[in-house]
Amino acid sequence: MRQRLRSLGLIALLFAVSLALGLVFGGAGLAGSASNPGLSQLLANKGLSANPPVLVVEAVGISPHFLYDSSVAYPRIPSSMLVPLAGLRVVLAQVSASLASNQVYSSPRVFFTNSSGIVEALANQGNYSVQMETQYVQLNTTIPCFDNTTTILNLQLLPSPTKVDSLRIVSQDSVIGLEPTTKLYALLANASIPDGGFAELVGFQSTYPGVANRTSVEVNSTIVGSYHTSSDTLAVLAPLGPYSAFPTVEMILFQYKPEYQVNYIAG
């Protein structure tokens, strides 16, 4: 009788232990099941907790103080000449997501760089279109962003100078150079065909040749066309607004080009 009671007690104890294991690990014990997964399966499904991607845009350009310095013609502009580009418009739009996600794409978001030339934004994992607009040039590129990773887009907006040998002004008014309809024809010796779009024509104006007292002149314009020969290029410029004077000596035509690189920091 005692032996039977002892056997019943062991069976009850085993039942209680099995019940406890079922409560902790699910109805199928440690292995789990599709209908009632165990703890190990739940952790596998959830995965490690991930931090959302961070996208940082850092934009710099040459300081106006150095813009017309002869050193801008160097292949590499020293970092000491670069300053943050504040107020730069940045448009961020997701163009694709990871296959495992069920993300709903949000509308494009617009940011502006702060006084340090920086924008920081949280994103979902996937590929993003990054558009940056300035008075000088537009940049449109696509970069991937990953969980647990900071993506840094470093942008440098750099001037590309071309020496102007001579300048001819064609005006529809009797007062040359005072209305936006004026066309400027700049002769660029041994130059490749310039790109269309924004350009700055800068130089000095001197009433008498050889006079040291002269004033700098800058005309913002758009390159609307060009004529190229074997020896030189004639660029046609349309001023963006009225101007009171135009340069006559030491003229340079500036166009801008964006250079950028993408770096990743894990963690």
Looking at the fold, whether 122 and 188 belong to one and the same domain comes out as no
Count of H helices and E strands in the chain?
2, 14
Mean pLDDT score across all residues of the chain: 75
Give the distance from CA 211 to its chain's centroid. 45
Q: Which domain holds residue 68?
A: 54-158+258-266
Mean pLDDT of 58-74: 74
Looking at the fold, whether 105 and 167 belong to one and the same domain comes out as no
Per the structure block, which two tokens stand in for 79? 């970092």
If residue 133 lies in a helix (H) or strand (E), which one and from where to where? strand 126-133
In terms of pLDDT, which residue wins out, 126 or 38? 126
Q: pLDDT tier at 124 (50, 70, 90 boundaries)?
A: confident
Q: What is the CA radius of gyration of the chain?
A: 33
pLDDT(152) > 80 = yes
Pairwise CA distance, residues 104 & 123, whole Å: 12
Looking at the fold, whether 210 and 236 belong to one and the same domain comes out as yes
Looking at the fold, whether 95 and 81 belong to one and the same domain comes out as yes
Looking at the fold, whether 154 and 198 belong to one and the same domain comes out as no
How many domains does one find in the chain?
A: 3
Q: 26-30, 116-120, 143-147: lowest mean pLDDT where? A: 26-30
Strand pairing report for 54-62 and 149-164: parallel
Mean pLDDT of 150-176: 82
pTM of the model: 0.65
pLDDT(115) > 80 = yes
Q: How crowded is residue 28: how many other Cβ atoms within 10 Å of its Cβ?
A: 15
Pairwise CA distance, residues 28 & 23, whole Å: 10
pLDDT(52) > 60 = yes
Looking at the fold, whether 106 and 154 belong to one and the same domain comes out as yes
In sequence order, which residues have a C-beta less than 8 Å from that of residue 11 and are 6 or more positions away?
none
**CATH for 186:** 2.40.30
Give the pLDDT of residue 118: 96
